[in-house]
Structure 1
Amino acid sequence: MALVIAMEWIATAQAADCPRQDTLGTTLGTSRILKVDAATTPRVGLKSFPQTLPLQDHEVVLTFDDGPWPPTTTRVLAALAHDCVRATFFLIGKPASEHPELVRRIAAEGHTIGHHTWLHRNLSKIKPGETTEEIDHGISAVEMALHGLATTTPSTPFFRFPGFASTPATLDLLQSRGIVVFGADFWASDWNRMTPRQELKLITDRLKVARKGIILFHDSKAQTAAMLPAFLRYLKDNHYHVVHVIAAPPAVEPKSAH
């Protein structure tokens, strides 16, 4: 619980310390912090599940998959810092173990870190025992990079399936461990080759229809890193607000009377 509270304090304090006065939405860049509780919201994202986060019109949550990847993740972080915006990064375990300093930088700049397996394998196509290992190895690698402790209990219990390829068994496993599964409400399709200008048009066209939601990008894609500053300007110019998601602190068990 202390760790979650500390991470929340970091996010809030760093947002408040942002020196820019013309940032996205408000002077803080991030309009509000939303605490997500696995007990009440075990799975979110309308592309995969029947419910999503309780966002208001013109509110978005920015999420990035497949990092850390130094050539592009650093550019994404720079764009977010320029507008004092906080996002959620779903990190793959192997590159996290190879670039622990970048994992720590993501956290130090106030972003939320979730989990995205060890090798980005399709979990619907491998054996159940391998599935659990893929999930746990990924969590352990990210936790080691972040805190120097190899544990399969994530400090932020957020997980996204590679390719959104879940199974009933893996969904039940994560829910039993109190880990929120993130889908998305819409995405930039940045796994396809396109120019930054084309990606900007695609994502803004989709946003005009959806008007709010969890957006999926990939910080490993150069076109996304190049496009992001223009997208943040679009959000600001069109009066959108960025919501930063963090894990809700675990419920405190009431003390029994003696």
Structure 2
Amino acid sequence: MIKMDRQKLRSMRARALGAVLAVAAGSAAAHAESCPRKDALGTSRILAVDAASTPRVGLKSFPQTLPLADHEVVLTFDDGPWPATTPKVLAALAHQCVRATFFLIGKPASEHPELVRRIAAEGHTIGTHTWTHPSLARIKPGAAVEQIDHGISAVRAALHDGGSATPLAPFFRFPGFESTQATLDLLQSRGITVFGADLWASDWNPMTPQQELKIITDRLSVARKGIILLHDPKARTAAMLPAFLDYLRQNHYRVVHLVPAAPGAKAEAAH
């Protein structure tokens, strides 16, 4: 009886995993078929992220990262949306048929809800990045929780008040990667994955788009894979992005699109 129960359990797990992979593969295939450019970089696969098994990822802050193969990258953007630059970033991603993850700040999301809905409509994943981007390690614990909660509710409202059915992903990134054990525990208890990064372009520093491109490509040539952090409100990043995506294509990198694992895909990052 015990042996049979274990066999049934393994079978159920296999069927559940197969269903998730089938949905992901179907979505990826549909995305590839919809790309009008045969020579585009494209999105190679979809990776479902489960907060229960991967509550924190990114080697900048944590000992583990996502299970990426050599030459696989995840594109992430922080601090948006911003009307002057986010549309340029979206246009560059669309031109190469690439999907990314955007960690949005609640206040600008509430001020520009049409951009939030556009990000979702173009197939990107939306996570959150607090209400106004303070360091959560340098403010009072209650204020830190309020920043998290207000950011989530503001982005959710911006996403859904216009009728979008896209779920808000249970993904969160700390401003400046500055967390506390209390906030990490809080997010884990809510089933929200915390994202750090594996490499970045340092685009918060003054530089030209050409200088930024060299920084990120030099770092990627060493790392060879990973979660890449960029900032869509930065004009230099918006200007640099087409060349960077072309670099990825020419050097045979593959873009992985993140989505919440079931049942997280059916539920929002609620509190």
Q: How does 1:133-148 map to 2 (within 5 A)?
A: 133-148=146-161
Residue in structure 2 matching 1:76, options 89, 100, 105: 89
Q: Give structure 1 stretches of 5+ with no counterpart.
A: 1-5, 252-258
Match of 1:59 among 48, 72, 95: 72
Structure-2 separation of matches of 1:155 and 1:101: 15
Query: Corresponding residue for 1:3?
Result: none
CA contact under 8 A between 1:114 and 1:158: conserved in structure 2?
yes
Say if 2:48 is the partner of 1:35: yes
Distance 1:76 1:57 in 2: 25
Do the aligned partners of residues 11 and 134 (structure 1) sit closer, same or farther apart at CA in structure 2, a change above 3 Å counting?
farther
Counterparts of 2:183 and 2:109 in 1: how far apart (Å)?
22
Instruction: Return 51-60 or 6-15, whichever deviates more.
Output: 6-15
**Mapping of residues 57-206 of structure 1, within 5 Å:** 57-148=70-161, 155-206=168-219
In structure 2, what is the Cα distance between the partners aligned to 1:8 and 1:129? 42
Alignment-mate amino acid for residue 124 of structure 2: H
CA contact (8 A) 2:86 2:232 kept: yes
- For residues 9 and 192 of structure 1, what CA distance do their matches in structure 2 show? 40
Structure 2 CA distance for partners of 1:116 and 1:123, relative to 1, 3 Å:
same
Cα distance in structure 1, aligned partners of 2:185 and 2:30: 35
Equivalence for 2:38? 21
What TM-score results when the alignment is normalised by the length of structure 2? 0.85
- Would you say how many aligned residue pairs link Structure 1 and Structure 2? 239
In the TM superposition, residue 13 of structure 1 has moved relative to its aligned partner by 3.8
Displacement after TM superposition at 1:8 (Å): 9.9
5+ residue gaps, structure 2, are: 1-22, 265-271
Give, in angstroms, the shift of residue 250 of structure 1.
1.7
Q: Deviations over 1:108-149 (max 9, x none)?
A: 000000100000011001111111110000000000011129
Does the Cα contact within 8 Å between 1:14 and 1:109 map onto a contact in 2?
A: no
| Cα distance, 1:14 vs structure 2 | 4.3
8 Å CA contact 2:25–2:45 kept in 1: the answer is no
Partner of 2:245: 232
Q: TM-score, normalised by structure 1?
A: 0.89
Q: Which runs of 4+ in 1 moved over 2 A?
A: 6-16
Q: Deviations over 1:161-206 (max 9, x none)?
A: 0000000000000000000000000100000000000000000000
Q: Distance in 2 between matches of 1:16 and 1:94?
A: 36
Between the two proteins, what is the percent identity of the paired residues?
77
Deviation for aligned residue 1:15: 4.5
Helix, strand or coil for the counterpart of 2:137? helix
Q: CA deviation digits over 1:232-251, x for unaligned, max 9?
A: 11001000000000000128
Does the residue aligned with 1:124 lie in a helix, a strand or coil? coil
